[in-house]
């Protein structure tokens, strides 16, 4: 028997999981906000992630925000901390990546927290390092701890 074509039937849930439109900029539900989802690339240690930008910045990586599917920042060096409408961008990321509304995006990296911990210990804090690791950090702007102390 000679086959000229093959039909494959796929249920809707499986089809959604195929993510056939990754890597393409799409208009979000908010005007002037666009997003692009890129698939995971295990050979490069890349997780599935989303980039969000305003229309005029689609080709400017330093004007975009991006998160991995595990809620960590993607593109640490080019993440636009000054992104206008960051809360809307976070909502787009949560929706598109199918994260819960309580998913915390843009958390302080473990390396940055470790840098602050070392700085606290070196400056003679009375808390032992094990307790410092348990203290939640509130970061208003990413500045060295010594500058924050002077501001207080």
Q: What is the pTM of this model?
A: 0.60
What pLDDT was estimated at residue 30? 95
Euclidean distance between CA atoms 64 and 122, whole angstroms = 35
Q: Please give the mean pLDDT across all residues of the chain.
A: 77
Whether residue 5 is predicted with pLDDT greater than 80 in this model: the reply is: no
> Which of 32, 26, 30, 15 has the alpha carbon at shortest distance from 50?
26
Share of the chain above pLDDT 70, in %: 62
Burial classification of residue 22, based on how many CB atoms lie within 10 Å of its CB (0-12 exposed, 13-18 middle, 19 or more buried): middle
Q: Which of 6-10, 12-16, 134-138 reaches the highest mean pLDDT?
A: 6-10
What pLDDT was estimated at residue 98? 93
What pLDDT was estimated at residue 10? 73
**pLDDT band at residue 22, thresholds of 50, 70 and 90?**
confident
Starting at the edge strand found earlier in the chain, the sheet holding 49-54 runs 26-27, 33-38, 49-54, 65-68
């Amino acid at each position: 028997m000679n086959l000229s074509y093959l039909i494959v039937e796929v249920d809707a849930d499986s089809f959604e999981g195929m993510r056939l439109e990754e890597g393409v900029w799409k208009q979000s539900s908010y005007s002037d906000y666009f997003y692009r989802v890129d698939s995971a690339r295990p050979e490069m240690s890349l997780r599935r992630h989303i980039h969000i930008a305003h229309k005029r910045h689609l080709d400017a990586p330093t004007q975009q925000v991006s998160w991995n599917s595990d809620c960590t920042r993607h593109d640490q060096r080019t993440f636009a901390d000054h992104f206008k409408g960051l809360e809307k961008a976070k909502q787009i990321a949560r929706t598109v990546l199918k994260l819960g509304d309580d998913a915390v995006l843009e958390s302080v990296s473990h390396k940055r927290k470790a840098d602050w911990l070392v700085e606290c210990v070196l400056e003679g804090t009375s808390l032992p390092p094990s307790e410092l690791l348990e203290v939640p950090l509130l970061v208003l702007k990413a500045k060295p701890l010594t500058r924050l102390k002077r501001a207080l």
